[in-house]
Amino acid sequence: MIICGIDEAGRGPVIGPMVIAGYCIEEKNQELLKKTGAKDSKMLSPKRREELEEALKRLAHSYKIEVIEPKEIDDALNNPESNLNWLEAIYTAKIINALKPDKVILDLPSNNKESYLAFIKKNLKFKVRIDAEHKADVNFPVVSAASILAKLERDRRIREIEKEIKQNIGSGYPSDPRTIEFLRKNHSRYDEIFRKSWASFKREKQAKLK
């Protein structure tokens, strides 16, 4: 049996993409995965995540990473028939369709489990068992592995942005003082890196107009 864990990184930042990863493993290798020390990416240092990457990919049956850029996120939030959960669900279905696992375990972003799963299944090309719960990235190593791959990709994208514009943008989260300082000075310059539907972006833009 092939089990697939799915998780995201970067739902909340005002800068950069959201990344969703699917990580598949053969059921018989779950114990080996556990022994790697894979856990929710937020519980690991950046260095430890990088150290785990090779071992995780070596153990994987398959994996897939999807990157959702700020413009697509804004488009989803500005559409009255969409939201961030539906956007994540669409990409989750895309990953499942590509990897074709026998079972899926995913970290649940929505408070309405039934509605969220129904939306995913509507976008699937085949039937598959899906288990979804909050804190799945903590409770299931296969979801932890997906969490780590997503976070690694998200962090790399942020570093690429910094390299391109030659400035420190911090983590990209509104709670990061470096990010807010960068946003304050540059929100009208680097158009494509910002999520313009975010309150922190709108606040800075409004302040500039006064």
The string of pLDDT tens digits covering residues 101-129 is 999 999 999 899 999 999 999 999 999 99
Residues 75, 38: one domain? Answer: yes
The confidence score (pLDDT) of residue 188 equals: 87
Report the CATH number at residue 40: 3.30.420.10
How far is the C-alpha of 201 from the C-alpha of 25, rounded, in Å?
40
Residues 124, 50: one domain? Answer: yes
Residues 152, 176: one domain? Answer: no
How do residues 138-187 score in pLDDT, each as one tens digit? 999 999 999 999 999 999 999 999 999 999 999 999 999 999 999 999 98
The confidence score (pLDDT) of residue 208 equals: 65
Residues 171, 136: one domain? Answer: no
Report the CATH number at residue 173: 1.10.10.460
Residues 11, 79: one domain? Answer: yes
How do residues 47-102 score in pLDDT, each as one tens digit? 999 999 999 999 999 999 999 999 999 999 999 999 999 999 999 999 999 999 99
Closest CA to 63 of 95, 36, 102, 23: 23
Query: For residues 206 and 22, which has the higher predicted lDDT (pLDDT)?
Result: 22
Residues 31, 77: one domain? Answer: yes
pTM of the model: 0.93
How far is the C-alpha of 166 from the C-alpha of 24, rounded, in Å?
37
Residues 35, 74: one domain? Answer: yes
> Sign (positive/negative) of CA torsion 66, 69, 75, 80?
positive
Residues 190, 132: one domain? Answer: no
Measured from the Cβ of residue 52, the count of other Cβ atoms closer than 10 Å reads 21
Confidence tier at 39 by pLDDT (50, 70, 90): confident
Residues 169, 150: one domain? Answer: no
Structural domain count, the chain: 2
Residues 188, 136: one domain? Answer: no
The confidence score (pLDDT) of residue 107 equals: 93
Domain range for 198 is 163-209
The confidence score (pLDDT) of residue 97 equals: 98
The confidence score (pLDDT) of residue 209 equals: 56
pLDDT at 210 over 60: no
Residues 38, 67: one domain? Answer: yes
Residues 145, 169: one domain? Answer: no
The confidence score (pLDDT) of residue 41 equals: 76
Please check whether residue 87 is in contact with residue 80, taking contact to mean a CB–CB distance below 8 angstroms.
no
Please check whether residue 172 is in contact with residue 181, taking contact to mean a CB–CB distance below 8 angstroms.
no
